[in-house]
Amino acid sequence: MKLTLGFSPCPNDTFIFDALVNNKIDTEGLDFDVVLEDVETLNKYALQEKLDITKLSFPAFFQVLDKYALLNSGGAMGKGVGPLLISKHEPGIHASEIEQKSIAIPGINTTANLLLSFAYPGAKNKVPMIFSEIEDAVLNGRTELGVIIHENRFTYQQKGLHKVLDVGEYWEEKMNLPLPLGCIAIQRTIDKITGLIVDKLIRKSIEFAFGNYPLVGEYVKKYSQTMSEEVMRHHIDLYVNDFSLHPGKEGKLAIETLYKVYQENNKQYAPMYQFSMFEHED
């Protein structure tokens, strides 16, 4: 059986899926047709129901709950992992000023955008762009502020940019929960047995990767562009953790809480949806 599988070329995703897609573990008769794209492109693909299994941001997942089910393994969640709001100038901007400024965001459907709205509900002048372009957009004045994710957390200071707010820390302080950033979801038309196998294989792939860590595999390096191995490891250390193996009760509560924030932000008050095909599992 062949399934389409989408994830990003970022080190955390290639680290997670390396063993699975490169036959380093037994895939139990499943084959995967891999699609590598940035997360906002994957979000849009999910809205189009384009892929069987995909990485996507939680706000995008919340929009396709009737089409996709959450897998336990492979997601990005934790503490100290959130997006940063940055500026070319020294911090000290009042919230009311921030809400009037132009802000580069890594996509409308991203968790970063939802968290920006959570921290600054009045911020409306948002400019979506590829996450890797945001630092330069702020530096060259295309936008006054920017919300950065991924490896840009480790590079913005070197470029003379300044942190205005860690919107992930803001979430953690307000909710006292880890921050759910992204997840792996599978189309609900795929049978549950296959879904269980895929979930198990992703977990095995992560365990294989951790079993060889801190070695950074060639698959990770291949798609890391100009990143140093140190930055790759920082990236992996930040975004791949125990929550990537299984969200557990705390992680599930964090997802449910983020869903309520999403509903409030979008003025949608639908009842809580069954996220996963594995609700009976702890």
What are the structural domains of the chain? 2-77+180-265 (3.40.190.10), 84-175 (3.40.190.10)
Strand partners, 162: 87
Distance separating alpha carbons of residues 88 and 84, to the nearest angstrom: 13
What integer pLDDT is reported at residue 151 of this predicted model? 81
Nearest to 64 by CA among 50, 77, 49, 51: 49
**pLDDT band per the 50, 70, 90 thresholds, residue 266:** confident
Banded pLDDT at 272 (limits 50, 70, 90): low
pLDDT at 227 over 90: no
Distances (CA, A) of 158 to 58, 92, 268: 30, 20, 41
Please provide the average confidence, as pLDDT, over all residues in the chain. Answer: 92
DSSP for 208-232, written as a single string? HHHHHTTPPPHHHHHTSTT--HHHH
Look up 150 and say whether it is catalytic. yes
Whether the pLDDT of residue 282 is over 50: the answer is: no
pLDDT class of 279 with cuts at 50, 70, 90: low
DSSP state of 150: G
Q: What is the CA radius of gyration of the chain?
A: 18
68 secondary structure, DSSP code: E
Give the 3-state secondary structure of residue 100: coil
Q: pTM of the entire structure?
A: 0.92
Q: Which of 150, 235, 246, 280 is labelled catalytic?
A: 150
Which runs of consecutive H residues, i.e. helices, occur in the chain? 11-21, 39-47, 58-63, 95-98, 111-119, 134-139, 167-175, 192-212, 218-222, 229-239, 242-245, 248-265
Res. 278: pLDDT tops 70:
no
pLDDT score of 280: 43
Among 114-123, 220-229, 269-278, the minimum mean pLDDT is found in 269-278
What tens digit of pLDDT does each residue of 41-79 get? 999 999 999 999 999 999 999 999 999 999 999 999 999
How many CB atoms lie under 10 A from the CB of residue 143?
A: 21
- The pLDDT value given to residue 281: 47
